[in-house]
């Protein structure tokens, strides 16, 4: 409940009350603005929050530097006398409801405006050393302590330290011990393909010699790049996803799949599916007035693409909801999600099952 009360307060400060309406008593502000700008479908209940009363909540907002809240007259009710609109919590806040409807031409103009979203999530990949990897990422004297998940930067740094301390390097190649070769499952260097061999024949003798040396590379030698890749393959993966708008974080197992845009045929009709939107802070159960609801996104897409669009159950257990467009606009969807919904392109994965003019599919690589 605390979250919804704070959200309504920020909505009211950002798009509700203006400075000419100050000062205003706390209870009046709550009834006239906070209740008016709460998220649809949410019932604010101060008694069911940690604040209990509006006065205590507004005192907390004053301590956070968002407002000035004090008695104007001795013995009178405390009032909000100032809203610090330069405070980052207010200036950076993206309202979760629309402005009140306007009349006439202004209403039509506002209806046609594209809502300005902001990048809504931050994802940090985590890697947990398991099995034979534990000894590589455990410091001396800490062998019995629990190994914690590491970020990519952390595990690469620790791996490089281990290599420097325990392994030899020969001509940019890491020389592995026999135990590491077996534990990491390092295979012998595979022979090159026929195409590569034909290219070799056209190269000068010096490059041919380098290729030959590469073929004869000892089994226990591996490049640093390939060693990093092999280590990462053996790690147990998880990720921490943070909703920047709501300031909430969650730890999840597996790899972050991001947003999947799929072009395929269903019942002999070309359709496009958008899968994974919920991971980016969009609510499939939200009301159409909430700009971060599936219903609002569908409404905006219908105006942009002029086709039938619906919200459907995803495939598989706990798959959530997905948006299906009854039209093939595959070449436009990635740009729409990036430019309008503000989903970082590195989180978008495209799959065109229809063939034809196929866009290059890009995997998600995060630093």
- Please provide the distance, in angstroms rounded to a whole number, between the alpha carbons at the two ends of the chain: 35
**Cis amide leading into 151 (omega within 30):** no
Model pLDDT, residue 366: 47
In a domain, 242, yes or no: no
Whether 189 and 278 share a structural domain: no
245 close to 118: Cβ distance less than 8 angstroms: yes
Residues with Cβ < 8 Å from 69, sequence gap 6 or more? 26, 58, 59, 61, 62, 78, 79, 80, 81
Same domain, 281 and 230: no
Please check whether residue 114 lies inside any domain of the structure: no
Find the domain containing 315 and state its range: 257-352
Is 268 found in the same domain as 328? yes
Query: Is the same domain home to 226 and 265?
Result: no
CATH of the domain at 344: 3.30.780.10
pLDDT exceeding 90 applies to what percent of the chain? 47
Which tokens is 299 given? 């409404």
Q: Is the pLDDT of residue 57 over 50?
A: yes
What local confidence, expressed as pLDDT, does residue 137 receive?
87
- In this structure, of 90-99, 147-156, 278-287, the range with the lowest mean pLDDT score is 90-99
* CATH code of 96's domain: 1.10.10.2030
Give the percent of the chain with pLDDT over 70.
81
Question: Average model confidence (pLDDT) for the chain?
Answer: 82
Q: Is there a domain that residue 333 lies in?
A: yes
Q: Point out the domain boundary residue: 236, 268, 300.
A: 236
Q: Is residue 367 part of a domain?
A: no
Q: Token digits for 204?
A: 């000068």
Please report whether residue 21 resides in a domain: yes
pLDDT band at 214 (very low <50, low <70, confident <90, very high): low
Q: Kindly state the helix (H) or strand (E) to which residue 183 belongs, with its residue range.
A: helix 178-184
Whether residues 131 and 231 share a domain: the answer is yes
**E strand or H helix that includes residue 304:** helix 294-305
Q: How many structural domains compose the chain?
A: 3
118-150 pLDDT tens trace: 888 899 999 999 988 888 888 766 666 678 899
pLDDT at 322 > cutoff 80: yes
| pLDDT at residue 254 in the model | 92
Asked whether residue 71 falls in the same domain as residue 159, the answer is no
Long-range contacts of 278-282 (CB under 8 A, 24+ apart): 278/320, 278/321, 279/121, 279/241, 280/120, 280/121, 280/341, 280/343, 280/347, 281/120, 281/121, 281/243, 281/245, 281/246
At residue 247, the pLDDT reads 84
The pLDDT, as a whole number, for residue 212 is 59
Residue 108 lies in a domain: no
96 shares its domain with 161: no
In this prediction, residues 291-300 reach a mean pLDDT of 92
303 & 202 share domain: no
Q: Is residue 286 located within the same domain as residue 231?
A: no
Positive or negative: CA dihedral 80, 86, 92, 97: positive
Domain termination site, one of 181, 203, 236 = 236
- 134 & 223 share domain: yes
Instruction: Mark residue 43 as left, alpha or beta (left: phi above 0; alpha: psi -120 to 50; beta: remaining).
Output: beta
Higher-pLDDT residue of 7 and 75 is 7
pLDDT confidence band for 204 (50 / 70 / 90): low
- Under a CB-based contact definition with an 8 Å cutoff, are residues 220 and 176 in contact? yes
Q: How confident is the model at residue 98 (pLDDT cuts 50, 70, 90)?
A: confident
pLDDT tens digits, one per residue of 33-52: 999 888 877 888 898 899 99
Asked, for residue 135, whether it belongs to a domain, the answer is yes
Does any domain span residue 245?
no
Query: Does pLDDT of 203 surpass 80?
Result: no
């Amino acid at each position: 409940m605390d979250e919804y009360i704070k959200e309504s307060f920020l909505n009211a400060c950002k798009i509700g009350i203006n400075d000419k309406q100050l000062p205003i008593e706390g209870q009046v502000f709550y009834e006239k603005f906070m209740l008016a700008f709460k998220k649809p479908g949410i019932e604010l209940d101060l008694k069911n929050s940690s604040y209990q009363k509006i006065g205590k909540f507004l005192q907390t907002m004053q301590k956070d530097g968002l407002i000035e809240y004090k008695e104007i007259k001795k013995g009178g009710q405390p009032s909000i006398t100032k809203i610090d609109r330069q405070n980052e919590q207010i200036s950076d806040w993206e309202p979760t409801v629309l402005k009140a409807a306007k009349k006439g031409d202004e209403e039509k103009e506002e209806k046609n405006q594209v809502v300005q979203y902001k990048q809504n999530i931050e994802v940090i990949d985590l890697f947990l050393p398991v099995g034979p990897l534990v000894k590589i990422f455990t410091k001396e004297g800490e062998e019995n302590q629990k190994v914690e998940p590491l970020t990519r930067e952390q595990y690469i740094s620790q791996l490089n330290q281990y290599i420097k301390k325990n392994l030899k390097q020969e001509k940019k190649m890491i020389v592995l011990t026999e135990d590491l070769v077996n534990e990491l499952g390092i295979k012998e260097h595979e022979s090159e393909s026929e195409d590569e061999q034909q290219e070799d024949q056209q190269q000068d003798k010096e490059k041919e010699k380098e290729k030959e040396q590469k073929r004869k590379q000892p089994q226990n030698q591996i490049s640093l790049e390939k060693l990093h890749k092999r280590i990462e393959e053996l790690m147990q993966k998880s990720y921490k996803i943070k909703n920047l708008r709501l300031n909430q974080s969650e730890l999840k197992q597996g790899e972050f799949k991001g947003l999947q845009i799929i072009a395929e045929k269903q019942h002999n009709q070309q359709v496009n599916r958008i899968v994974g939107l919920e991971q980016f802070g969009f609510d499939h159960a939200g009301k159409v007035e909430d700009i971060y609801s599936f219903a609002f996104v569908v409404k905006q897409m219908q105006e942009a693409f002029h086709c039938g669009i619906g919200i459907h159950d995803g495939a598989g257990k706990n798959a959530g909801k997905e948006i299906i467009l009854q039209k093939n606009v595959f070449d436009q969807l990635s740009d729409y999600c990036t430019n309008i919904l503000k989903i970082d392109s590195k989180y978008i994965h495209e799959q065109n099952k229809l063939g034809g003019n196929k866009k290059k599919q890009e995997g998600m690589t995060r630093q």
